[in-house]
Structure 1
Amino acid sequence: MAARQAVSTRRHDPATASPQTSSARWLRTTLARTLTAVVATALSAGLAGAPPATAAIFPIADPDPFYWAPPDLGGFGPGDVIRSRPVATPGFLGATGWQVLFRSSDSHDNPIAAATTLLIPAGGSGSSDAGSSGGRPLLSYQPFVNSLGTQCAPSHSLFNGEMQESVALNMPLARGWAVNVPDHLGPTSAYGAAKLGGRITLDSIRAVRRFEPAHLGTSQVGLAGYSGGGMATGFAAALAPEYAPELPIVGVAQGGVPVNIGKLALEVGQTPHALFGLGFAAAIGLEREYSGEVDMASKLNGPGNALRNQIANSCSAEIISAGANRSFYDVFLPAATQAGLSQADPVLIRILHENSLETHPGVPRAPIYQWHGEADQVNPGLVRELAGRYCQAGTPMLLEMVPGADHATSVIQGLPNAFMYLSDRFAGRPAPSNC
């Protein structure tokens, strides 16, 4: 049966959902509908007929020298540990915490230094999910990050109360799993650059498995993430067969994933919206990652450039507030807006394709559980099409559409099932599929 037809309609019991009472509120402020529309049109306006690009606006570097790349960074291989430090773990009772700086690669294969946070529960493997490898299961969880400042990265927000989804990580820790939480936006907080997020995720897994104090060298790996974190998760899975084929990834759980930001943009009107700032920020993030190809500054009007400067080092709350109820017409010059909405610039198409799972040619080999709300603002039809392509390529796919759920509520209902799915993969049970 085709994946688009074989959709589970199993009802979810709210009592089995994550105890995070603030998750729905958190996700309502990060709807991908506005994000993707603004990204595509903002980039298009910045690219169409653009002269040689001006410099992208980068964030203030993290003042903590732990994050700084060494002069000999090019001598490290992808996933090599550069330095590490123990950290306190408030909110994760009994867990040991480490932060690891490692070498990764940006979207143009240049070496970068990226960070990840590793949580290890007390005791031995402590889990019946260890499987034949005998090692403690390792979950790499990619959080939803919608920020431009380096201080907003998961290695900071995981412990200071800013990452409201962090409470959910107590579920895998309680199962005895180690949890890896990468700063998947990279050292320039390139919000929106999903391919970069996939590479950083894979290299973070390499790093923590090589990190001797953690004893994870024989651990099997599971990936999980929702929405923007689901994009990084999905790209990690799709890139792994070529970028990191040695990693023993046994399962992937991704939810609420915008699989093609260009197509979704065409479905959304360019009208003022409370969350306009998020999409505008994602365009800035992609401009950072593709510096020299994207030129926003020359296409923005005065208020647009002022907004760009204002949020260049901001976390999500300030970004939302600064951009509330604006539209493309409020921040771009009229000629740029018209050109951006009417022309299919080949550079724009390439950038969007490179960061959209639907158009990325790589296919995951690891089994996938993908969940999506039936009423999600992110087009469920595109998710079904992606699942169908993966099925056709031989990837075991379990696609579940959550009845009545939108983007804000699907995460609460799907995440416990995602952890159960990965538990079965760690235990070596056959992967279910509705392909």
Structure 2
Amino acid sequence: MSILRAVVVASMVGCALVVGSVPASADPTTGPAVPVSPGPSDLQQWIDNTIPAPSFPAAASPPAGALPAKLAALWQAVRSAPSGDRIFDEWPDGLAGLAPGDIVEWRDVTSTSALLAIVPIQRAILLKFRTTDASGKPSFGTATLVTPAAAWTGPGDRPVLVNALPINSLGLSCTPSYAMAHGLHSKFNAGDLFPPNTAWGLSRGYAVLIPDHEGPWMAYAEPRVAGHVLLDSIRAVRHVLPAEFTGSRFAMTGYSGGAIASYAAAMLLDEYAPELSGVVVGAAIGGLVTDYRMVAGHFNGNSASGILLVVALAMGREHPEILGYLNHLAQWAATSPVKDSCGDTNGPLGLVGVPIDVAANISDPLNSGIADQIFGQLDLTDRRSGVPLYIYHAANDFWIPHENGDDLYRNQCARGVRAVHRTEPGEHVIALFTGFPGEIDWIDGRLRGEPAPSECPRPAR
């Protein structure tokens, strides 16, 4: 398949993947039940009747649970190709016998990390640890802990900045830890360097923890996966180096795709990692998606459809039941070279801007029963953050409407969370830079142990 054809086909299918479209011939005995939705339009039926179904070799089900044979084969086919490094590629034995955050193995990656750290470092270690997938089953995560060369001269143990980078990718070799372990490479994601939180944190004497928050299946934008990996990476650091970091303060930050991880960790902390209450002292969140339905509708059929595409393919990996409802066009696109794309290439994929209905098998897919089910699984807005928040968003963000940040601030203030909200000038990418000074100043205060400020309005008497 040519690159142009892959781009066109993949863009046509992306929207269908995000809502889990229902095929006209679905057999309810071969997969999980889904809500009844309107049947396909004439155009949608024509697409399935015209495009032949791809054929995939038999494959094992995912570790999280058994799938029907055809669905297991498709799930395997949409996964990223192996990175070639077993620490990222191999599923560990005995995960069920480990607690979340327990170390599976670790590797010294100081020599390959030094250039990317920019600031002189003492050590960098790659951690592999037990975590939990979106359905509550044992899984594994990876993260890199970088310690600066400069000695920590402040009180107590060295603080740790948890930098959730905007990975925004489908390929296993696109993760920041892969780059830290292998140095610059052909699929290096330039997003690993922006915003420059890692270099800033190291220059302040803080250790920096960089989690691969998309998990082993590269489930971009799946909030529970991201939140679990981030919290378990903190547990892993405290387990592997207790003498250095048991008393450390940890503060989390992330922008856009990275903000999903920082936000989810804050929302899930009290229920998933309550022992980290007081250890994690704050979360800075910029350019965040909280309302997946709003953003999916906003991306539908315009120049942002490339981002919707990669999110959609990623969701099918973590929620394989979705894959049972893809049409033939969707299956071809989901198993094309797009499945290994890195963040730098996702934007150009959206240039064709094909609307969702071209790829779906149901009418009005964004307002269907199955869409309600999936968007509901991704929603964390009913939770209270376990840490103080710094929330910032671009005033003219045409990618992610600013209402996402506004609503989060109001919601968390109403729940009694100490929060600060900033509206940055410009659009999504510009706010990445204009919001950086305020973000790091707020993070710096939390890591120094200063009480978190709050600008929440006082309740009326």
TM over 0.5: yes
Assess if the C-alpha contact under 8 Å between 2:219 and 2:317 holds in 1.
yes
Deviation, 1:330, is 8.5
Structure 2 residue aligned with 1:8? none
Distance in 2 of aligned mates of 1:300 and 1:265 = 22
The yes-or-no answer on 1:46 pairing with 2:72 is no
Structure 2 residue aligned with 1:241? 270
1:4-23 alignment runs, 5 A limit: none
Structure 1 residue corresponding to 2:407, chosen from 385, 388, 394: 385
The yes-or-no answer on 1:354 pairing with 2:377 is yes
Q: Which runs of 5+ in 2 are unaligned?
A: 1-11, 32-70, 457-461
Structure 2 residue corresponding to 1:289, chosen from 318, 321, 337: 318
User: Structure 2 counterpart of 1:416, which letter?
Assistant: P
Distance in 2 of aligned mates of 1:97 and 1:180 = 10
The yes-or-no answer on 1:407 pairing with 2:437 is no
The yes-or-no answer on 1:338 pairing with 2:363 is yes
Q: Which runs of 5+ in 1 are unaligned?
A: 1-36
The yes-or-no answer on 1:91 pairing with 2:116 is yes
Assess if the C-alpha contact under 8 Å between 1:307 and 1:323 holds in 2.
no
Flag the 1:331–1:125 CA change in 2: closer, same or farther, 3 A. farther
Output the aligned Cα RMSD. Answer: 2.5
Q: How many residue pairs end up in the alignment?
A: 383
Structure 1 residue aligned with 2:102? 80
Deviations 1:311-368 (A, max 9, x none): 12222344445554141368515xx152514x421x432322332343xx22113111
Distance in 2 of aligned mates of 1:164 and 1:228 = 10
Structure 1 residue corresponding to 2:218, chosen from 179, 189, 200: 189
Flag the 1:168–1:43 CA change in 2: closer, same or farther, 3 A. closer
Structure 2 residue corresponding to 1:154, chosen from 176, 183, 190: 176
Distance in 1 of aligned mates of 2:197 and 2:299 = 34
Distance in 1 of aligned mates of 2:337 and 2:351 = 13
User: Structure 2 counterpart of 1:237, which letter?
Assistant: A
The yes-or-no answer on 1:271 pairing with 2:271 is no
Structure 2 residue aligned with 1:125? 152
Q: Give the alignment's TM-score, normalised by structure 2.
A: 0.77
Distance in 2 of aligned mates of 1:208 and 1:309 = 37
User: Structure 2 counterpart of 1:150, which letter?
Assistant: L
Assess if the C-alpha contact under 8 Å between 1:195 and 1:354 holds in 2.
no
Distance in 2 of aligned mates of 1:271 and 1:383 = 23
The yes-or-no answer on 1:227 pairing with 2:256 is yes
Distance in 2 of aligned mates of 1:260 and 1:330 = 21
Q: Give the alignment's TM-score, normalised by structure 1.
A: 0.81
The yes-or-no answer on 1:258 pairing with 2:289 is yes
Distance in 1 of aligned mates of 2:81 and 2:411 = 41
User: Structure 1 counterpart of 2:368, which letter?
Assistant: A
Assess if the C-alpha contact under 8 Å between 2:387 and 2:417 holds in 1.
yes
Deviation, 1:269, is 6.7
Distance in 1 of aligned mates of 2:342 and 2:248 = 34
Distance in 2 of aligned mates of 1:426 and 1:74 = 34
